[in-house]
A and B are shown apart, each in its own frame.
Chain A
Amino acid sequence: MLTIDRYLRASSLEEAYEAAQKKNSAVLGGMLWLRLSHRHVSTAIDLSALGLCGVEDLGDRYRIGAYTTLRMLETHEGLHRDFGGVIGDALRDIVGVQFRNLATVGGSVFGRFGFSDVVTVFLALGASVELYPSGTVSLETFCGMRGVKDILTHVILPKRQVRTAYRAMRNTATDFPSLNVCAVLAEDALTVTVGARPLCAVAYRLPAAGAGTAEEIAEKIAKETVFASNSRASETYRRHLCRVLVARAVDDVYGKGGES
């Protein structure tokens, strides 16, 4: 059970950061994941007064505040238009609407959960994260960082001409995914991400043309990727799923049956 001694509605990032350095403090996102923990939190830090909820269109990129909910992303017209609906495709099976009205972008990315649909799709779209006070790093770098005590303030998504596809396998409709895959084809590169391995998602960058057939690409990625077993799927099954889902996603972005 999660217990909390003190609740702090931070009035500045400095105040939030300072409080977050204290032992047993916790920054609150939507609190859905935190709630499952058996932690004793000395200070729960609420960022809701810091203007971090919303999606800004900055012309060449989107800047998404950490308190933006997954539902806001899923229903955002510009994101839907510019990324071919792939964000909605990735998020719509996460539990339910009421859940996605609470789950935040900041908590979902900061958690770098091994099962995450959010990280898989953001990584494929070339996201970076703004950390206070460290500054901006690519999401790929952030996924490998440990012991971070910064405040995640925004996620940046660069706008490019892309074709996108998302595929996930779940044992039941709203369960955690057993594997998820996102493919993003830009002018210069094909990016394929594989998540729910059940380790944090990994990205592969291939040339936009001449990388082989969808099956060849899928075979290569399935061979190179590290998978593990848990109660949802075995390592062997995940590798098999990877072949199938990557081939389908790559087919989707090139138009079915097409060779890259």
Chain B
Amino acid sequence: MEITLTLNGRRITASVAADTVLLDFLRAHGCASVKCGCETSGCGLCTVFLDDTPVLSCSVLAVRADGHRVTTLEGLEAEASEFVTFIADQGAEQCGFCNPGFVMNTIALLRENPDPTDEEIRAYLAGNLCRCSGYEGQTRGIRAYLNAKKEGRL
């Protein structure tokens, strides 16, 4: 089947099989930030935006992206660069494999709720699993970023 979508601002047309999942399609189109963890919609590593909504690309058929916008971390580097250093400063990432999905979902959270409480941060990121860090560092990193923003230090 032929599909046309806008990937990170670029319009592309490609041929896909009916059962190609978006994750495989995106990686085949150079988006190496999109990671495959569980393939059973449980880990959040494969998070991308379909239009502006964060979804699990391992569980979306590529044909369903036909006519839509898909954004991966490659297309959001400027928005992500604002807060990723705060997360790194907290030593929140070790192997880093979960990081792109985690950053994508943090961007979604901050677009939806620019001033979340720690509880709201935890609730929104509950679907992003990290096997190394225990999540506290990531929450601290986002909190540090939000504080810096409020105090005009950015």
Most-contacted residue by chain B among A4, A28, A44, A97 (CB, 10 A) = A97
Residues of chain B within 8 A (CB-CB) of A97 are 54, 105, 108-109, 124, 126-127
Whether, in the assembled complex, A96 has its beta carbon less than 8 Å from a beta carbon of chain B, the answer is yes
Residues of chain B within 8 A (CB-CB) of A173 are 126
- Name B42's closest neighbour in chain A (CB-CB): A95
Produce 1/0 per residue, A67-86, CB < 8 A to B: 00000000000000000000
Out of B63, B125, B126, name the residue touching A7 (CB < 8 Å). B63
Interface of A is mostly: mixed
Most-contacted residue by chain B among A28, A36, A93, A102 (CB, 10 A) = A102
Whether, in the assembled complex, A138 has its beta carbon less than 8 Å from a beta carbon of chain B, the answer is no
Answer whether A44 and B18 are a contact pair too, CB < 8 Å, given A7-B1, A31-B60, A101-B54: yes
Produce 1/0 per residue, B9-46, CB < 8 A to A: 00000000111000000000000000000001110100
Whether, in the assembled complex, B72 has its beta carbon less than 8 Å from a beta carbon of chain A, the answer is no
Residues of chain B within 8 A (CB-CB) of A7 are 1, 18, 61, 63
Answer whether A31 and B124 are a contact pair too, CB < 8 Å, given A7-B18, A98-B44, A98-B55: no
B: number of interface residues (CB 8 Å): 28
Asked whether A99 lies within 8 Å of B41 as measured between CB atoms, the reply is: yes
Whole-angstrom distance from the CB of B98 to the nearest CB of chain A?
A: 12
Whole-angstrom distance from the CB of A199 to the nearest CB of chain B?
A: 23
- Name A35's closest neighbour in chain B (CB-CB): B59
Whether, in the assembled complex, B64 has its beta carbon less than 8 Å from a beta carbon of chain A, the answer is yes
B85-135 contacts to A (CB < 8 Å):
105, 108-109, 123-128
Whole-angstrom distance from the CB of A82 to the nearest CB of chain B?
A: 22
Asked whether B59 lies within 8 Å of A102 as measured between CB atoms, the reply is: yes
A48 to B123, CA, bound (A): 29
Asked whether A95 lies within 8 Å of B61 as measured between CB atoms, the reply is: no
Whole-angstrom distance from the CB of B70 to the nearest CB of chain A?
A: 14
Asked whether B55 lies within 8 Å of A44 as measured between CB atoms, the reply is: no
Asked whether A35 lies within 8 Å of B127 as measured between CB atoms, the reply is: no
Out of A32, A46, A98, name the residue touching B54 (CB < 8 Å). A98
Whole-angstrom distance from the CB of B18 to the nearest CB of chain A?
A: 4
Whole-angstrom distance from the CB of A100 to the nearest CB of chain B?
A: 8
A46 to B62, CA, bound (A): 13
Asked whether B53 lies within 8 Å of A101 as measured between CB atoms, the reply is: yes
A44 to B47, CA, bound (A): 23
Whole-angstrom distance from the CB of B56 to the nearest CB of chain A?
A: 5
- B: which residues have CB within 8 A of A? 1, 17-19, 40-42, 44, 47, 53-56, 58-61, 63-64, 105, 108-109, 123-128
Given A35-B59, A97-B54, A99-B56: 7 more A-B contacts, CB < 8 Å: A31-B61, A35-B41, A92-B123, A95-B42, A97-B109, A98-B56, A102-B59
